[in-house]
């Protein structure tokens, strides 16, 4: 039995990832901030900004299954209000750093220690960041900074866990059609049609889930620290 934990999996990208892992014969533990989630086999509520919640999630999964083979850190938030960086509030900045960056770091730390404890080389951690980790977006600077931090978290844990046979990877989604991008759908649709991405369509949650499956299948185990771009070619520098 292979066990996967996917945060932020009540909807959107996280839900698609969890479903894909189940189809790949993983026993998947869904996790999110909603009290309960219907229609799934295993669910544990967890706010990754809470030290206690992270501890409870890890202990619950380990007690029930005795192992964790895959952790997908997908949980994250966007600013409640998009503000120019000249107007960004400390409250918004702290909220995004606390959830997106600090939460991801300590999820990695907590579950890495479990993976080491179970002495099972081949376990994997995947952090879902964003093209915003390297792309300037002055109307949501705090989001960009939090995701840039996630990129370094990936590098640090890939380095630290290599000796234990635990691979750590990053997936950078581009413009994915989710609730998060719904408020600016028309803007992005116009930009895509104008050539923002070589592949002229919105990404779908499945596009990110497919990248997770490539890692879960073990084909990238010698490429720890690798970044997969699920972005329709956005990352390409073009003339």
Length of the chain: 239
Rounded Cα gap, residues 127 and 97, in angstroms: 15
Phi-psi region of 39 (alpha: psi -120 to 50; beta: other; left: phi over 0): left
Cross-strand bridge partners of residue 126: 72, 169
Burial grade of 87 (CB within 10 A; 0-12, 13-18, 19 or more):
exposed
- Other Cβ atoms less than 10 A from the Cβ of 57: the count is 23
Which residue from 17, 10, 2, 4 is spatially nearest to 128, judged by alpha carbons? 17
143 catalytic? Reply is: yes
Helices (H) and strands (E) in the chain, counts: 7, 7
> From edge to edge, which strands make up the β-sheet containing 227-230?
43-45, 26-32, 2-7, 70-73, 124-128, 167-173, 227-230
DSSP state of 222: G
Q: Which two tokens stand for residue 103?
A: 């939460």
Q: Which of 26, 30, 43, 143 is catalytic?
A: 143
Q: Are 103 and 75 in contact (CB under 8 A)?
A: yes
- For residue 51, the SS3 value is helix
Question: What amino acid positions are annotated as catalytic residues?
Answer: 143
């Amino acid at each position: 039995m292979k066990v996967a934990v996917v945060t932020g999996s009540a909807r959107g990208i996280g839900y698609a990832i969890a479903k894909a892992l189940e189809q790949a014969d993983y026993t998947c533990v869904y996790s999110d901030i909603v009290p309960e989630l219907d229609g799934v086999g295993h669910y544990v509520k967890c706010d990754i900004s809470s030290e206690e919640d992270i501890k409870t999630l890890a202990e619950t999964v380990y007690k029930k299954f005795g192992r964790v083979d895959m952790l997908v850190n997908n949980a994250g938030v966007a600013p409640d209000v998009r503000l120019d960086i000249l107007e960004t509030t400390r409250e918004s900045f702290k909220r995004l750093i606390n959830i997106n960056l600090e939460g991801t770091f300590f999820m990695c730390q907590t579950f890495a220690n479990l993976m080491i404890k179970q002495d099972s080389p081949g376990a994997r951690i995947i952090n879902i960041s964003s093209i915003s980790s390297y792309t300037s977006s002055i109307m949501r600077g705090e989001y960009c900074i939090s995701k840039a931090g996630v990129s370094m978290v990936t590098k640090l844990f890939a380095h630290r866990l290599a000796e234990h046979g635990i691979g750590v990877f990053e997936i950078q989604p581009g413009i994915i059609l989710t609730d998060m991008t719904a408020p600016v759908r028309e803007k992005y649709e116009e930009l895509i049609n104008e050539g923002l991405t070589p592949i002229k369509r919105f990404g779908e949650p499945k596009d990110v889930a497919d990248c997770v499956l490539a890692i879960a299948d073990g084909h990238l185990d010698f490429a720890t620290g690798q970044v997969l771009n699920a972005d329709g070619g956005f990352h390409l520098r073009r003339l």
